[in-house]
Amino acid sequence: MLVSKEFTFDSAHYLTAYHGKCERLHGHTYKLRVTVEGAVSKEGMVVDFCELKALVGRLVVDKLDHQSLNDFFKNPSAENMVIWMWKELEKPIVKMAKGVKLYEIVLFETQNNFVTYRGK
């Protein structure tokens, strides 16, 4: 079964390897959707939403919210960001709940523009 939790955070960036409007400093209200996969436990849940919220908050959202993303990434494209997020979350999610693994990360840069990543 798949279980998802959504988060929002605000950050600014400029794309260092791009030539166009986005090479100038600008900001986004990002929406992040983290999806995990696992079996339903005896408690009737795949994962506790509160635990998932705390983990993603601590490892990703709290680090990036109201920050200049260029301080964290050489080229802070949405694609590069989700690869980093996957690396931050994959092992801690496995440790958080037995039999649960990270399935997918979706990062919305705008309401209509987003990237989806499912690991390598």
Segment holding 93, helix H or strand E: helix 78-96
The torsion defined by the Cα of 49, 54, 58 and 59, in degrees rounded to 10, comes to: -30
- Annotated catalytic residue, options 6, 23, 26, 66: 66
Residues 59 and 52: their CA atoms lie apart, in Å, by 11
- In the residue annotation, 19 being an active-site residue is answered as no
CA proximity to 60, closest of 98, 5, 103: 5
Residues 95 and 9: their CA atoms lie apart, in Å, by 25
- In the residue annotation, 28 being an active-site residue is answered as no
- In the residue annotation, 22 being an active-site residue is answered as yes
- Annotated catalytic residue, options 22, 23, 26, 90: 22
- Annotated catalytic residue, options 37, 88, 104, 109: 104
Positions marked catalytic: 22, 66, 104
